[in-house]
Amino acid sequence: MTLHSRPARTAARRAAQAVAALGAATLLLTACGSDSDSGKSSGDKAGKADTASSQTRTVKDATGKAVEIPAEPKRIVTLTQEDLDAVLALDIKPVGITNGQGLDKPPAYLADKVEGINVVGNLLQPVMDKVVAAKPDLILAGDMQDEQVLKQLREITPATLVTMAPADDWKLFFRGVGNAVNKLDAANKFITDHEAAAKAAGEKLGKNKGAEVSIVRWNPDGPSWMENKQFASGVALEMGLKRPKSQDKDGNAHTPSLSLEKINEIDGDWLFLSTLTSDGEKALKDVQSKPAYKELGAVKNGQAVTVDGSVWSTRGGPLAADVVLGDYVKALSAK
């Protein structure tokens, strides 16, 4: 996210921003060109090959690497919950998945859709024997940056795709996944429908139309607010909601954890709070009894809402975007 969702990688992601933007643009161009330019050479762009004469296609992954993949992949393994979210949104059931971010099980919002699917490891930490047992013909490797792990995965199947560059938003990476599984049109339609639903929902919020929403993850050592291009913030902006002045910053990550002396930075008309770990949950519970927290405007007005960090604090995906949209509507329509 992550962005916001891989805390350990935030600094690295910022450093890679310029390179990432180029990678993201490449992926978007190749994805968007796949259907309309299917008759052209696949060596020139990540497009759809002539499947009438070939059973494989050549696509470019998020790093710009050309990868030969099955024209119609049947056995897909996903290594991040974002990849899992994406294929499920395209009505594809993978044969292997990883646990959710910060979890020892798949994310709750996808639980009913992944019953019976084998778990092959934790987020971006596949157990190779389990991946082999899944017999994948396509591995979606998220924002995997460990070249040694990628080498091992490509020995299992050369059709291993890095699906996200460090700065990619969920729509761009979703289009890339859609292109890889030959469902780019369906991915584009999902995005269009989501954007229309978000705009319509924002128009129906009554007195909360255009409200300022603070988006915060509570870590064991304090709160971090999310930047404008972070996933959950993007959904808010699609709805016509605003961010507090102190949080109106470009970027797709989160701030360092704040001390109680700076807790006013997390205030807004509405405060959406999430945690990712049990330690973070405990820290949030502890601070809620302190005067500094109780003095926040959103808290005093009864407009502080707890949400699922395994959705809100990730890099996002199509199904996650609909969950976040629903959370905003539920909270802001109640008053």
pLDDT tens-digit map of 80-137: 999 999 999 999 999 999 998 878 899 999 999 999 999 999 999 999 999 999 999 9
The DSSP H or E segment spanning 306 is strand 304-306
Single-letter residue type at 275: T
Q: How far apart are CA 237 and CA 94, in angstroms?
A: 32
Q: How far apart are CA 172 and CA 167, in angstroms?
A: 10
More confident residue, 295 or 17: 295
| Beta-carbon count within 10 A of 12 CB | 11
Report which of 103, 112, 59 is spatially closest to residue 80, judged by C-alpha positions: 103
28 pLDDT band, cuts 50/70/90, is very low
Report which of 195, 201, 229, 183 is spatially closest to residue 318, judged by C-alpha positions: 195
Single-letter residue type at 240: G
Report which of 219, 194, 206, 192 is spatially closest to residue 331, judged by C-alpha positions: 206
Q: What is the mean pLDDT of the chain?
A: 86
Single-letter residue type at 298: A
Per-residue pLDDT at 9 exceeds 50? no
Checking DSSP bridges between strand 270-274 and strand 304-306, what pairing results, if any?
A: parallel
Window from 192-206, 215-229, 250-264 with minimum mean pLDDT: 250-264
21 pLDDT band, cuts 50/70/90, is very low
The DSSP H or E segment spanning 300 is helix 297-300
Question: What is 54-181's CATH topology?
Answer: Rossmann fold (3.40.50)
Displacement of CA 182 from its chain's centroid (Å): 20
CATH of 202-331, picked from 1.10.8.60, 3.40.50.1980, 3.10.180.10, 3.90.550.10, is 3.40.50.1980
Write down the pLDDT at residue 10: 42
Q: Where, residue-wise, is CATH 3.40.50.1980 in the chain?
A: 54-181, 202-331
| Beta-carbon count within 10 A of 52 CB | 6
DSSP state of 254: B
Q: How far apart are CA 181 and CA 90, in angstroms?
A: 9
Window from 20-24, 161-165, 186-190, 258-262 with minimum mean pLDDT: 20-24
Read off the tokens for 58.
Answer: 């050549």
SS3 57: strand
Per-residue pLDDT at 68 exceeds 70? yes
Q: How far apart are CA 137 and CA 90, in angstroms?
A: 17
Backbone angles phi, psi at 149, to 5 degrees: -65, -40
Per-residue pLDDT at 304 exceeds 50? yes
Write down the pLDDT at residue 54: 52
